[in-house]
Amino acid sequence: MIKRTLFFGNPAYLSTRNEQLVVNFPEEAKEEKTIAIEDIGYLVLENQQITVTNGLLMKLIQNKTAVLTCDQQHMPCGFLQPLVGHTEQTERMRHQLNASLPLKKQLWQQTVTAKIENQANHLLHRKKNALKLKRWAKEVKSGDNENHEAYAAAYYFQNLFDIDGFSRNQKGLAPNNLLNYGYAILRAVTARALCSSGLLPSLGIFHRNKYNAFCLADDIMEPYRPFVDALVYDIVETGCQLQELNTHLKKELLALPAIDVFIDGNQSPLMNAMSRTTNSLYECFEGSNRKVLYPEF
């Protein structure tokens, strides 16, 4: 089932009644609106004057809805996750914690290979040269000790956008702002799926920064990044202004969880594909599978 993504950029009072999200706009002459909580996958709260009742938060968490809060720059900065995301959570976390270093290196090799392949296919889709990326994807070794992931990313962004002097930098010129926003949404999608699969988002297979609570999410989202890039590329091609991340641009990027991707021979909404990816990751930790299932661009 495709879950809905709701975005609130204006002051609002959010509560619950009869298993519904109830929305009231105190500063606008709008009638009360209701939405079934079971249909909500992502709730993005941007405005600083949004009030949310504890009863609603409880029901959203029970529904495994990802609640994202935004900072003063309107970028997602927080993610509310359930304490219990899976009925076998303790057992699944034990397998994750006991994963050997060789296994983690093999999983990172698969992840980097899938990411570079998807970057190459995105370039080919845009009628751009991807021979280097195709070659590098085949040369990735266990643990990616030769750092093909970084070389591929640098080459990919140098050749993706037809913008003079563009480089990928979080604080760089547009469309870096769009990429930042899209990746933040993707990170929340990944963290939500990991929790639902009973895994710890903070314990990565490659990323291991002690200040990062989402190391595993940052690992697993890597092959999905080109789908964000594709959305941003299409926006850039429209010729619209990119300096200000307005509501229209956010709406385009918030469609990410519902876009179709190709995984395991079938089309699937990205949010559902991510759940298949995280479940296959658990199977690798548990020992019943040896390959993480990633989408193909």
Angle between helices 148-160 and 131-139 (to 10 degrees): 170
User: For residue 100, what are its two tokens?
Assistant: 């050997």
First to last CA, the chain: 22
Rounded (5°) CA angle 171-176-181: 100
Between the alpha carbon of residue 98 and those of residues 95, 187, 195, 221, the distances in Å are 5, 24, 18, 22
Phi, psi dihedral angles at 294 (to 5 degrees)? -115, 155
Any binding-site annotation on 46? Answer: no
Nearest C-alpha neighbor of 26 from the set 59, 2, 51, 46: 51
| 260 to 58, 202, 255, 270, 279: CA distances (angstroms) | 30, 27, 10, 6, 19
Q: Whole-angstrom Cα distance, residue 107 to residue 65?
A: 28
Q: For 161, list phi and psi in degrees, rounded to 5.
A: -90, 140
Any known ligand binding at 244? Answer: no
CA separation, residue 259 to residues 49, 140, 193, 252, 275 (Å)? 30, 29, 16, 11, 14
Enter the DSSP assignment of 267: E
Helix (H) or strand (E) holding 43: strand 40-45
Annotated binding-site residue? 286: no
**Whole-angstrom Cα distance, residue 283 to residue 238?**
42
Name which of 201, 228, 188 is nearest 66 in CA terms: 188
Annotated binding site for Mn(2+): 149, 207, 222
Annotated binding site: 149, 207, 222
